Amino acid sequence: IHGVWPDHTSFIMYDCDPLKKYKTIDDTDILTKLDARWPQLTSIKSIGLKSQSFWDYEYRKHGTCCADVFNQSVYFDISMKLTDSIDLLKILRTKRIIPGYTYTGDQISRAIKSVTQNNPNPKCTYIGRSLELKEIGI
């Protein structure tokens, strides 16, 4: 998971309340569950769990856009539930789409849509001369 971004049909929602403070998560059970689903890949695990800089960034950038409906704790709980309900790697494996092989965007999108019933938003990036899947928006 990269993040959970509230959506609006008329405009993109981000930086709704960037001055809102992130409350460091202290509960080790929640930290373990959150880290398993939303690891902070830019640092060593122990440092990431202590600084929580990526979760802080994502919450202030996107989570604050729904803060009038969901507090920070609920935002992260919903994030984990969504991740558990839509296991993209499992969907792709089940549809025989395996990392290290080449597939078209349509193949990837059809595989995901066949399970979620929604059109995914795959994004790719060039690595050298090769196009690689970077993220999938659901």
pTM of the model: 0.77
Catalytic-role residue among 8, 62, 132, 135: 62
Three-class DSSP category at 38: coil
21 contacts: CB under 8 Å, gap ≥ 6: none
Q: Does 132 qualify as catalytic in the annotation?
A: no
Strand locations in 5-120, DSSP E?
none
Write down the domain spans for the chain. Answer: 1-85, 88-137
Active-site annotation holder among 2, 8, 132, 135: 2
> Is there a catalytic annotation at residue 62?
yes
List beta partners, residue 78. none
Q: What is the CATH number of domain 1-85?
A: 3.90.730.10
Task: Supply 81's token pair.
Answer: 């539930």
Give, for all 138 residues of the chain, the pLDDT tens digit: 777 888 777 877 889 998 899 999 999 999 999 999 888 877 889 999 999 999 999 999 999 999 989 999 999 999 999 888 888 888 999 999 988 888 988 999 999 999 999 999 898 899 898 888 888 888
pLDDT for residue 114: 95
C-alpha angle 13-79-135 in degrees, rounded to nearest 5:
70
The number of C-alpha atoms within 13 Å of 1 and in the hemisphere containing its C-beta is 24
pLDDT of residue 119: 92
